[in-house]
């Protein structure tokens, strides 16, 4: 079996802690920018589009880093899986935005925000140091008291 690399895991989790917060802020900003556009501040549609592209890039970067945290870092595979699902949903969301399918685009925007927040929770719940040999990874359901960050 391939040995895990605690150094890679530590660096990757540190980077991920930053990228998931950035993705959260961008996802929170999207309804605000869209609302401003709908209220008549038309340049905000351009900002909404640019923010969508930056969000997609940040989630792509998070996916690459989460893959490294998983292999060789030894972190749970749920990390890259969550980022991959989020990236695919954001790509669909952007296509729906460009084609003005707002009846799906607006509710899916809420879905994107939930996915991004779930990814952030998953990353921030993981301790920065590797679990001791033989110890289990904190599960998704672990209470905050069980997880020291």
Among 64, 54, 65, which residue's Cα sits nearest to residue 29? 54
Are 118 and 59 in contact by the 8 Å Cβ rule? The answer is: no
Q: Considering the complex, what minimum distance in angstroms separates the CB of residue 123 from ligand HEM?
A: 18
Phi, psi torsion values for 3, nearest 5 degrees? -80, 145
What does the per-residue mask of binding to ligand HEM show for 77-96, with x meaning CB under 6 A? -------------x--xx--
Find the binding residues for ligand HEM in span 7-26 (CB under 6 A). Answer: none
Using rule CB under 6 A, residue 34 touches ligand HEM = yes
For the chain, what's the residue count?
A: 149
Interaction with ligand HEM in 109-138: which residues (CB under 6 A)?
Answer: 109, 112
3-state class of 127 per DSSP?
A: coil
Contact letters (x/-) for ligand HEM, 51-80, by CB under 6 A? -x--x-------------------------
Q: Binder to ligand HEM among 49, 84, 87, 138 (CB under 6 A)?
A: 49
In angstroms, rounded to a whole number, what is the distance separating the alpha carbons of residues 88 and 124? 22
Contact 77, 69 (CB under 8 A): no
Q: What is the DSSP string of 131-148?
A: PPTTPPPPPTT--GGG--
Site of interaction with ligand HEM (CB under 6 A): 27, 30-31, 34, 37-38, 45, 48-49, 52, 55, 90, 93-94, 97-98, 100, 102, 105-106, 109, 112
């Amino acid at each position: 079996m391939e040995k895990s690399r605690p150094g890679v895991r530590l660096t990757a989790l540190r980077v991920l802690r930053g990228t998931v917060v950035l993705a959260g802020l961008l996802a929170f900003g999207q309804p605000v920018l869209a609302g401003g556009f709908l209220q008549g501040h038309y340049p905000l549609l351009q900002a909404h589009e640019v923010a969508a592209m930056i969000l997609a890039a940040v989630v792509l970067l998070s996916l690459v880093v989460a893959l490294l945290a998983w292999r060789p870092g030894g972190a749970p595979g749920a990390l890259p899986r969550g980022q991959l699902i989020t990236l695919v949903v954001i790509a669909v969301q952007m296509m729906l935005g460009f084609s003005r399918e707002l009846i799906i685009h607006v509710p899916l925007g809420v879905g994107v925000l939930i996915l991004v927040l779930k990814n952030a929770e998953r990353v921030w719940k993981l301790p920065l140091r590797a679990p001791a040999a033989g110890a289990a990874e904190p599960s998704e359901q672990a209470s905050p008291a069980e997880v020291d960050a």
